[in-house]
Every structure is written in structure tokens, then in C-alpha cells.
Amino acid sequence: MPFGVQELDCRLAGGLRAGALHEAAAASSSLVDDAAATLFLAGIAAREAHSTGGLVLWVSCRCDLYAPGLEQAGLRSADLIHAQPRDDDALLAVVEDAIRDGTPSAIVAEASRVSMVATRRLQLVAADAEIPVLLLRRRRAREQDPLAEPSAACTRWRIASAPSARLGVAGVGRPRWLVELARQRGGEAFSILLEGCDETGRLAVPAALGHRTAETAGTARHAAA
């Protein structure tokens, strides 16, 4: 699943593996970082839905999805099925059943407690079904880093908001995120400043920084197990 951003795809051997578990977490407990991590995964799911013509299953124990926000990241309500299980254990069961069913083009799941054993199961069934599973790791405590816990995920991302570009007129520019790949199987960690998802789910390198990629795509600031 290519991002369509050369600075990302060349570091991922062409893009994300489709039949795999991929995780993302907010870089901090702030709402803006949480929103950035959510929209980062929404954009990946939206691009896969557009590519395959299938539906996206979003599984969360919370009832706080904001449809207009998801649509701005390319994920239309018409392409989305929402499931709301009672707890994380039920959530993992719903995700595994959906993978084995094979209907969704991609699955996004939000959870705060996921064991190493559970991630290994998700990785195995995702690989068998060739369905991407995108896990948003929620914080259980303000200072707790979800990516500090072990996982069998193929990639693990940490997403933070960044100041948007100044406009020549009054208003807010396109969102910018500091996207950090904390771990990838068979590859190196890195971080890069990107513009947030547009209405098609596409990310972009800020135009003013595109000519000096080496300065914007450096080593990751953190390591994850």
C-alpha cells in the first residue's frame, strides 16, 4: 500500500504491507496529537478503500468518531462501517472475525490494552487474509507511551501535530504532522515532517521543504520494543 510520497515509500520498500498489522499512537496525550494519529490511519484506510472499492470497518469502544473530520481525510461515511464492542477483549474478537470474513478492504481498531499474543494473532490472520489491520493504540495513562509495550506489528508509528505553514491571508493552513516510524520489520526507523491528509487521504511533503529531504527525514527520536 504505497503512500504516494517518495520520501516515505522509498524507506518502506514501496509502501506498507497490505496483509499485516500496523500500529499508530499519538506522540503525547494532547487532543491535537490524538486527532493527528486518528487521521493518519483514516487516510491509509481511505486510500485502500478507494483502491479496492471495498468498505472500511472501524472498531472502537468509544462513540466519538466525527464523520466530517474523517471525510476531510478521504474516508467517506458511505465507505465506513462502525462497530462498538463493550471492551477491548470483545473488540479484538470483532476484528479477528472481520478479518476471517474477508469483507472489509481495511480495518481500523482503537484499543488501549493489547497483549503481545493478541498482536501476533492479528498479524497472522491479517497475513492470511491479505487485509491491512490498522491499530490505534490508546493511552491508559497520561504519561504512558503505548508503543513502549511489545508488539508483533509490522510497523509502529508515532504521530504529533506540527505548526502549519503561514498563509498570506488570515486563516489556517493545511495541517502538518511530525510522522515518526518508531519500528519497522526489516527496516530502519525515521521521522519526517509531512502535510496532513487531504480529501483523498493523501499526505505530502511541505513544498518549502521538498528540496531538502535529508533535513526533514532524519532518524527517529524514540525507540520502541
On whether the CB atoms of residues 15 and 213 are closer than 8 A, the answer is no
pLDDT for 120-154, tens place per residue?
A: 999 999 999 999 999 999 988 888 899 999 999 99
Query: How confident is the model over 4-16, as a mean pLDDT?
Result: 94
Q: Give the mean pLDDT of 209-219.
A: 45
Domains by residue range for the chain, with CATH: 6-218 (3.40.50.300)
Q: Which three cell numbers stand for residue 172?
A: 489556517
* Contact of 151 with 180, CB cutoff 8 Å: no
With 70 as the cut, is the pLDDT of residue 209 above it?
Answer: no
Q: Which residue has the cell 490494552?
A: 113
Tell me the whole-structure pTM to 2 decimals: 0.89
108 pLDDT more than 50 = yes
Query: Quick one: pLDDT at residue 224?
Result: 36
Q: What is the end-to-end Cα distance of the chain in Å, rounded?
A: 24
pLDDT at 171: 63
Look-up of cell digits 462498538: 84
